[in-house]
Amino acid sequence: MALNRRSFLGASAAGLSVLAAPTVQAAGHGKPRVVVIGGGAGGATAARYIAKDSKGEVDVTLVEPTRTYYTCFFSNLYLGGFKSISDIGHTYGGLAARGVNVVHDWATGVDRAAKTVTLAGGATLNYDKLILSPGIDFVDGAVEGWDITAQNKMPHAYKAGSQSELLKAQLAAMPEGGTFMMVAPPNPYRCPPGPYERVSMVAHYLKNNNPTAKIIVADPKPKFSKMALFQEGWANHYEGMIDWIGEDFGGGNVSVDPGAMTVTIDGEVTKADVCNVIPAMKAGRIAEIAGVTDGNWAPVNAADMSTKADPDVYVLGDASQQGDMPKSGFSANSQAKVCANAVRGALTGSRVFPAKFSNTCWSLIDTNDGVKVGATYEATDEKIAKVDGFISATGETSDVRKATYEESEGWYTGITNDMFS
């Protein structure tokens, strides 16, 4: 089924029966208060749906430091020249118009006993329910020789915006016949096909602007998402340009020297003109500060995305440890709708639907050569469990691949309207 804005927005509600929810009144004050930290696919969606569906019964505050949010999904298409940076940038005026109190500040503290959030600017926010959707941070020491202070020499570009612009500028400045290197992340990480779509988009750019350039990927994994599809596409479109070095050939034994711009793979030193280091990941820092992680990720209950540590704190998207769903924008948006419904029900007594989830990840390999993978999921006592799935096939016709890419464009319009309008 091709996804457009209408079918995307309606998909999560189809076929669901209604459950009763107890009313939890806000203690000692008027309207119940929800604070959402993080304004991406999870947080923006949750804030929007709680504010919209509660019709003013719930006070919703969204804390997000940036005034323009750049989606990580489709940011690789910016690197490939298919999108401008403004195409993937979105602001929060639509959420404010929906009744969400948007606060552009950093959340620096959570007191779960007092039910307060402290902001960098000095303000304190009270909450009855707290939703955390902080995305990812990086594991210290994950790549020998690299830390966050090296991100301007060897960008990660796994938080879209200025890092994306920097990586694209470095790509454009590569000398003729130069070398682009990527250090890929270990599992689990944000957007499983993301690094390999990025390789494809970098290859697309170089094929058209620097055709004798080389791409080398050092990967600690023996295989990756949509591997056969990407490798087929690389052979078809970028023959001889991409060298993928997996775990079996030393791809996990890597160190970098940002000063010298070198990458050492299993003892062999290579000079890089551009080096994209994507380290191991963990939940965004505020989840750790709140005390709801296991050290890296935040374990949650599948039925409503509440944390195992505190039933009044919820974690969405990349930061959560929830089971079978990949860490993706689609997943975060799907989880946010389940969470928003549960939170609104708990605070107002409105109806609560059984939790159902879905995800699709599209990737562009070359012009009009789109592929996808996806699944549906349900909540069990143990986790979010996969029910069924699908994936593009190798050898598909150009018409099918073009239709898949066009479907992804429709989804992007739908999800960003679902988040911000």
pLDDT tens figures, 301-346:
999 999 999 999 999 999 999 999 999 999 999 999 999 999 999 9
| Structural contact between residues 373 and 196, judged by C-beta atoms closer than 8 angstroms | no
Whether residue 393 is predicted with pLDDT greater than 50 in this model: the reply is yes
pLDDT at position 104 is 98
Q: How far apart are CA 143 and CA 287, in angstroms?
A: 23
| Structural contact between residues 255 and 144, judged by C-beta atoms closer than 8 angstroms | yes
pLDDT tens figures, 352-382:
999 999 999 999 999 999 999 999 999 999 9
pLDDT tens figures, 248-269:
999 999 999 999 999 999 999 9
C-alpha distance from residue 229 to each of 1, 181, 200 (Å):
20, 21, 11
pLDDT tens figures, 55-65:
899 999 999 99
pLDDT tens figures, 78-121:
999 999 999 999 999 999 999 999 999 999 999 999 999 999 99
pLDDT band at 30 (very low <50, low <70, confident <90, very high): confident
Q: What is the mean pLDDT of residues 18-42?
A: 70
pLDDT at position 29 is 61
pLDDT band at 10 (very low <50, low <70, confident <90, very high): very low
All domains of the chain, ordered by start, with CATH? 5-137+281-420 (3.50.50.60), 140-277 (3.50.50.60)
| Structural contact between residues 390 and 61, judged by C-beta atoms closer than 8 angstroms | no
pLDDT at position 127 is 98
Tokens of 98: 């929906």
pLDDT tens figures, 158-199:
999 999 999 999 999 999 999 999 999 999 999 999 999 999
| Mean pLDDT score of the chain | 94
pLDDT at position 5 is 40
pLDDT tens figures, 200-214:
999 999 999 999 999
| Structural contact between residues 178 and 261, judged by C-beta atoms closer than 8 angstroms | no
CA 337 to mean position of chain CA atoms: 16
**Run of H or E including 109:** strand 107-111
